[in-house]
Amino acid sequence: MDQQYQALVYVTLRPSVLDPAGTAVKSGLQHLGYDNVNQVRIGKYIEVTLTAADEATAQQQLDRICDQLLANPVIETYRFELIPADAPVGC
């Protein structure tokens, strides 16, 4: 019987890649008086709900999904956490 999983996927720019959005947010924060903010890097947080036979299958499929669509491997890296769907998630 298939099990439902929730994947929490984090896609971030590679460290060597410039982050203009992050730079803009940082200067916005400094305008608001937050001079102690040193760096801001912005990425994507994606929650994917899927069904799979078991955790290994879900893991393999998520790797393919991230490589094919969710992350651009040239400038981004990804990592994910896989949670059986009935377990509570942070927010």
Contact residues: a second copy, CB under 8 A: 2, 4, 10-12, 22, 25, 28-29, 32, 34, 36-52, 61, 65, 68-70, 77-79, 90-91
Give whichever of 72 and 77 is closer to a second copy, judged by the CB atom. Answer: 77
CB of 47 to a second copy, least distance (A): 4
Whether the Cβ atoms of residue 55 and residue 4 lie closer than 8 Å to each other: no
**CA atoms of 73 and 69, how far apart (whole Å):** 10
**What SS3 state is found at 59?**
helix
CB of 26 to a second copy, least distance (A): 9
What six digits make up the tokens of 24? 């803009």
